Amino acid sequence: IGGGAFGMVYRAGDTVLDRIVAVKVINQPVTDDPELLAALQREPQLAARLSHPNIVTVHDFQVEDGIAYIVMEFIPDSLAQHIRPNQPISYQRASEIAIEVCRGLAHAHREGVIHRDIKPANILITEAGNAQITDFGIARAVMSSSRVQQSYGTGTMLYMPIEQWSDGPIDHRADIYSLGVTLFEMLAGDVPFKGNSYHALYQQHLEAPVPPLP
């Protein structure tokens, strides 16, 4: 049903509890990478600890034939599917979504968990229209692999605060910044900064004024 830099997500049937679930299959093999395996085990445990209506529920984590996968609550729709160029989301609806994400993040931050990759693709929309955050810590876990050549910080550069680009210590404010970029994108139909290189994008986040909203 979807995928990204770190894995593919499948719609699956839980034959024990008779329910539909989402299974995220990590695209990095873990057989010979103990650091990655340890990180992947740790991050779902942290996410499973977060019980909140605005956070996707994590059901299970398994490794089979060297392939790691995470079983989660099934929510087929994401905020990314609702954002179109020149078709901004109404400010009333954008505010509703942002407030719900803030509530989920506030709960996570109280538990000492930082997401590190808030963006529209990681904000799912339920059938009732509620926003739920997914993929806590997955990017950081995969980037811990010794096989991954990492030049920049963990996250998605269009949404990252400059403190996160070096992969140095960050706190909950990184998530708030990324949510701010996401809120701008909902209102404008596009992200505020789109540099044509890593350096140009970094400089824009560092010193460029936020573009005006119509």
Active site residues: 117
Tell how far CA 129 is from the center of its chain: 18
Q: To which residue do tokens 């699956």 refer?
A: 12
User: How many degrees, rounded to 5, is the angle at CA 1 between CA 196 and CA 95?
Assistant: 65
In angstroms, rounded to a whole number, what is the distance separating the alpha carbons of residues 209 and 192?
Answer: 9
DSSP assignment of 114-169 equals --S--SGGGEEE-TTS-EEE--TTHHHHHHTSTTS--SS-SS-TTT--HHHHTT--
Task: Encode 171-184: b = buried (16+ Cβ within 10 Å), e = exposed.
Answer: ebebbebbbbbbbb
Alpha carbon 122 to its chain's center: 4
Sheet holding 77-78, edge to edge: 77-78, 123-125, 131-133
DSSP-assigned letter for residue 184: H
